[in-house]
Amino acid sequence: MMHTDNIPYLDFIAPGILAQSVLFVAIFYGINVIWERDLGIVQKFLVSPTPRSALVLGKGFSAGIRTLSQLVVVYGLSMLLGVKLNWSPLALVNVLAIVILAATLFSTFSLVIACIVKTRERFMGVGQVLTMPLFFASNAIYPTTIMPAWLKVISHLNPLTYVVDALRTSMLAGSASSFGLGMDYAVILLTTTVMVFIGSRLYPQLGV
């Protein structure tokens, strides 16, 4: 029997499904950047005085706003299935913030990939290769405590693990964080900052 800290498994995977939905939407956001390049929109952005980091962060944040529909759908299904959700205002604000930050992180990562591969066909291939390992090497559908040692190391390096942990802590009633909510936010914010920095260096090359 899978050990989920006395949380019903349906409740346990609900935050993982939300994280999966956010990941799958955000990771393919970079293809929009390739379309913009083909239409000449990127070149117009690049001649503006706007800092490149602001352009990258803005695109990531817009993806975060778009994923809020996934939040509504997952919460609605969770209610229908009887998942014990935490309805405190602070918990809801935390879930909202985590979803937007996670989508910003993975969409910015997607933009970095788009800047490297530069074609839609290659981007789709790379995106599909990366999404499933990110998902399965996290704590979305099973706890890290039952993982073999080598997979546990990979999971702890995977930012999606901290996204799921933060969502599970805030989304479920009576759920405790495995890493600490502060650590979850720190990893998400630090990884996003790194992705924005890399993206701001690579984004001008997309217009070449």
Q: Judging by beta carbons within 10 Å of its beta carbon (0-12, 13-18, 19+), is residue 197 exposed, middle or buried?
A: middle
Mean pLDDT confidence for 125-149: 88
How much is the pTM? 0.90
Rg of the chain in Å (alpha carbons): 18
Which amino acid does the sequence have at 107?
Answer: S
Tell me how far apart the alpha carbons of residues 91 and 36 are, in angstroms, rounded to a whole number. Answer: 37
Per cent of the chain over pLDDT 70 is 96
Tell me how far apart the alpha carbons of residues 22 and 33 are, in angstroms, rounded to a whole number. Answer: 18
- The pLDDT value recorded for residue 153 is 93
Q: For residue range 177-206, list pLDDT tens digits in order.
A: 889 999 999 999 999 999 999 988 888 776
Q: For residue range 94-128, list pLDDT tens digits in order.
A: 999 999 999 999 999 998 888 888 788 888 888 88
Nearest C-alpha neighbor of 105 from the set 203, 22, 18: 22
Point out the least confidently predicted range of 17-26, 40-49, 66-75, 137-146: 40-49
Each domain of the chain, given as residue ranges in start order, spans 9-206
Question: What Cα–Cα distance (Å) separates residue 189 from each residue in 54, 125, 186?
Answer: 16, 27, 5
Question: What Cα–Cα distance (Å) separates residue 6 from each residue in 94, 132, 188?
Answer: 23, 27, 27
Helix, strand or coil for residue 85? Answer: strand
- The pLDDT value recorded for residue 3 is 59
Mean pLDDT confidence for 31-59: 81
Which amino acid does the sequence have at 133?
Answer: P
In the predicted structure, residue 76 carries a pLDDT above the cut 50: yes
